[in-house]
Structure 1
Amino acid sequence: MEHAATTAGLYPLPDAQRERLADLKGRGKGGLVDGDESADVTAAYDAARERLVAVQREAGLDRVVEGQARWDDMLAHPLCVHENVRTGDVVRYYDNNNFYREPVVTGPLTEDGDLAADLSAAARLTDPLQAVVPGPYTLCDLARDDHYGSFESFLDGVADFLAGEVAAFPDAVETVFVLDPSLVTDPPDDDVHERVRDAVDAVNDAVDADVVLHTYWGALGERLHAYLLDTGVDALGYDLVNAHEECVYLVQEYGTADSVALGVVDGQNTRIESPGTVADRLSWFRENVPVSDFETVYATPNTELFYLPVNAFGDKLDALAAGVEAARAEVAE
């Protein structure tokens, strides 16, 4: 069984680049990302990417992500920069004090290579890479459809779009985290569970990499969890910060994939977990599920990390990596 320290991406901007971008926006040379950035804005994001990759390597993470510094609209980003999408009102991002521009889909969602371009830039800094993409259901939930005409067709269109995006990923990508928190916060009706499963599979089948379907802010419903077990993903994610008992119950009753991602660090709280706490949460899960000999246990913050101040963000990565080392030592004994 391999333990891998990693994250769900979407990092806070490093201070230097935050100040630089604020200055550019104040002079009318920045603004929210719209896919047509000035050279100065591009340079600031390139510098942020370099710093975010360096922070992960310094912490000793086993899987390194690009950092998603350009994702001003969080998980809605891939649609907000698409040519057949207009951005609408600024709306609340889930149940917190963050906001994004609502993407309104006005035409067919064809692959545009935005995600692949960022990953190709990151591949020059580190290899291998872990990619981060929104899940198809979550992307539908965050957007508004003015083109496809029905939820089912919209979900299929978004899944095909994401499949095209991940198919274009560079060879350096060895793992893909598919973040689908809306499956928990605003779960689909029972009659579309099969459609959601097929949408996840469309993304999974399009990429030659290990795929982790990660949800958070609670636990999946039992029936939906069972449907997702029928997908081809390599790992399912469980939020042990917000719903540890419920997540273990799901695995006890229904099993899980050959690998798991465990949210063992709070991605929204500035309190820094000790390495011992991280290791304890990993061992508690192993001890409470019927089959614990997983191929890979991805230890991760339960959510994206852009909520955190930069210093706390770095400290969380350090604690996570040290906790995974402690877990490895415990298993080896």
Structure 2
Amino acid sequence: MTELVATTTGLFPLPDWAKSELADLKGHQKDDLVSGDEPPAVVEQYDRARAEVVDRQQAAGLDRIVEGQLRWDDVLAHPLAVAENVETQGIVRYYDNNNFYREPVVTGDLSPTGDLAADLEAAEVPGDQLQAVVPGPYTLADLATDDHYGEGFLDAITEFLVGEVEQFPDHATLLVLEPSLVEEPPEDGEDERASEAIDRVVGASDAESVVYPFYGALSEKTHAHLLDADVDAVGYDFVSDHEDNLYNINEYGTTDSVALGFVDGQNTSVEQPDLLRQRVEWVDENTPAATFDRAFVLPNTETFYLPTERFEAKLDALGALTRTEEVTQ
């Protein structure tokens, strides 16, 4: 039987109290305060909020705990937005939705910052529960603008992420988020380079690796190349596109373990545990040639879109999915 692992994609909504308190502390200086050098009062509020969302995940019974990425005002572009030799310029749309981030423009050589590792350390989650979240190299390069490297930009972004991951504390899972593989599919030749870049990033960690594209399904060729990377689990956003994701698995195979995006990260309707179990069973029944060692069940996108109350209800539904003593609803 497939082992189910309840987890999330990270990038949580700020708790309601933190939204107002941080807005008051930051005032009109937001661009200065997300540089990684926040004043002590801001750091204190983020620490408090991080502790709260960690406790909430543990109370929900999740199998893997993330630190929440509450500081990631620039969403998946955050690691570059706090790096040296990067200028954060105009506000640009975050994929095809009503969210925005500051465009990170790389103007010089990149060096790892340790910013992500510091947040993971601050979360104080045991290593056998901790899930580290990073943007994939292809996605981070896609969200950024290069004014320095030229053809070697993806390689530079990859080395930057490798350096970040190498500083991480002990963690059970490395979750690599790659929505740009779906939203801005790589061209011929570039898809192979993207797969090689992902391979290098996951290779920087000893943890179980999950690469999760979302906002739809991968093209057939991109999916095939991604399977060439030494990844433990590839993810599928079944909320956005169940037919093409199912086709990719049945036509081209997949990894021994998978990640299944079955909780809608952008919709306030709360899925019940029974429904999630049925969706997992549906995948098993409709992939006759595949036998999965482990299935990570998680939201199909980041969850910062959700109101706090609905977000927490979805955490509870995910946690109940893997608690055998839970009474089905």
Deviations 1:95-124 (A, max 9, x none): 111110000001111111111110011135
Using the TM superposition, give the Cα deviation of residue 246 of structure 1 relative to its aligned residue in structure 2, in angstroms. 0.8
Alignment match, 2:198: 200
Q: 1:305/1:71 Cα in 2 relative to 1: closer, same or farther (>3 Å)? A: same
Q: 1:3-42 residue pairs with structure 2 within 5 A?
A: 3-26=4-27, 28=29, 32-42=33-43
Aligned mates of 1:133, 1:251 — CA distance in 2: 24
Q: 1:277/1:290 Cα in 2 relative to 1: closer, same or farther (>3 Å)? A: same
Aligned mates of 1:30, 1:144 — CA distance in 2: 18
Alignment match, 1:248: 246
Q: 1:95-134 residue pairs with structure 2 within 5 A?
A: 95-123=96-124, 128-134=129-135
Aligned mates of 1:121, 1:26 — CA distance in 2: 25
Alignment match, 1:215: 213
Q: 1:32-71 residue pairs with structure 2 within 5 A?
A: 32-71=33-72
Aligned mates of 1:107, 1:327 — CA distance in 2: 54
RMSD: 1.9
Using the TM superposition, give the Cα deviation of residue 18 of structure 1 relative to its aligned residue in structure 2, in angstroms. 1.3
Q: Is the 8 A contact 2:133 2:175 kept in 1?
A: yes
SS in 1 for 2:164: helix
Aligned mates of 2:177, 2:57 — CA distance in 1: 19
Q: 1:139/1:259 Cα in 2 relative to 1: closer, same or farther (>3 Å)? A: same
Task: Name the aligned partner's letter for residue 195 of structure 2.
Answer: R
Aligned mates of 2:20, 2:8 — CA distance in 1: 25
Q: 1:156-171 residue pairs with structure 2 within 5 A?
A: 156-171=155-170
Using the TM superposition, give the Cα deviation of residue 247 of structure 1 relative to its aligned residue in structure 2, in angstroms. 0.7
Alignment match, 1:90: 91
SS in 1 for 2:270: coil
Deviates more, 1:317-326 or 1:229-238: 317-326
Deviations 1:189-236 (A, max 9, x none): 012111111100110111110110001110000011011111001000
Q: Is the 8 A contact 2:84 2:111 kept in 1?
A: no
Q: 1:109/1:219 Cα in 2 relative to 1: closer, same or farther (>3 Å)? A: same
Q: Is the 8 A contact 2:127 2:172 kept in 1?
A: no
Aligned mates of 2:326, 2:234 — CA distance in 1: 21
Using the TM superposition, give the Cα deviation of residue 277 of structure 1 relative to its aligned residue in structure 2, in angstroms. 1.3
Q: 1:300/1:249 Cα in 2 relative to 1: closer, same or farther (>3 Å)? A: same
Aligned mates of 2:286, 2:322 — CA distance in 1: 18
Q: 1:83/1:13 Cα in 2 relative to 1: closer, same or farther (>3 Å)? A: same
TM-score, normalised to structure 1, is 0.94
Using the TM superposition, give the Cα deviation of residue 284 of structure 1 relative to its aligned residue in structure 2, in angstroms. 0.4
Unaligned runs of 5+ in 2: none
Q: Is the 8 A contact 2:61 2:323 kept in 1?
A: no
SS in 1 for 2:150: coil
Deviations 1:61-115 (A, max 9, x none): 0100000010000000000000110101011111111110000001111111111
Aligned mates of 2:107, 2:298 — CA distance in 1: 36
Corresponding pairs, count: 327
Deviations 1:231-276 (A, max 9, x none): 0010000011011111111010110001100001000000111112
Unaligned runs of 5+ in 1: none
SS in 1 for 2:189: helix
Using the TM superposition, give the Cα deviation of residue 326 of structure 1 relative to its aligned residue in structure 2, in angstroms. 6.5
Task: Name the aligned partner's letter for residue 149 of structure 1.
Answer: G
Aligned mates of 2:262, 2:132 — CA distance in 1: 20
SS in 2 for 1:67: coil
Q: 1:129-168 residue pairs with structure 2 within 5 A?
A: 129-150=130-151, 153-168=152-167
Q: 1:86/1:327 Cα in 2 relative to 1: closer, same or farther (>3 Å)? A: farther
Identity %: 57
Using the TM superposition, give the Cα deviation of residue 125 of structure 1 relative to its aligned residue in structure 2, in angstroms. 7.2
Aligned mates of 1:28, 1:143 — CA distance in 2: 22
Q: 1:156/1:126 Cα in 2 relative to 1: closer, same or farther (>3 Å)? A: closer
Using the TM superposition, give the Cα deviation of residue 5 of structure 1 relative to its aligned residue in structure 2, in angstroms. 0.3
Q: Is the 8 A contact 2:66 2:133 kept in 1?
A: yes
Q: Is the 8 A contact 1:53 1:125 kept in 2?
A: no
| Alignment partner of 1:277 is 2:278 | no
Q: 1:29/1:104 Cα in 2 relative to 1: closer, same or farther (>3 Å)? A: closer
Q: Is the 8 A contact 1:29 1:38 kept in 2?
A: no
Task: Name the aligned partner's letter for residue 169 of structure 2.
Answer: P
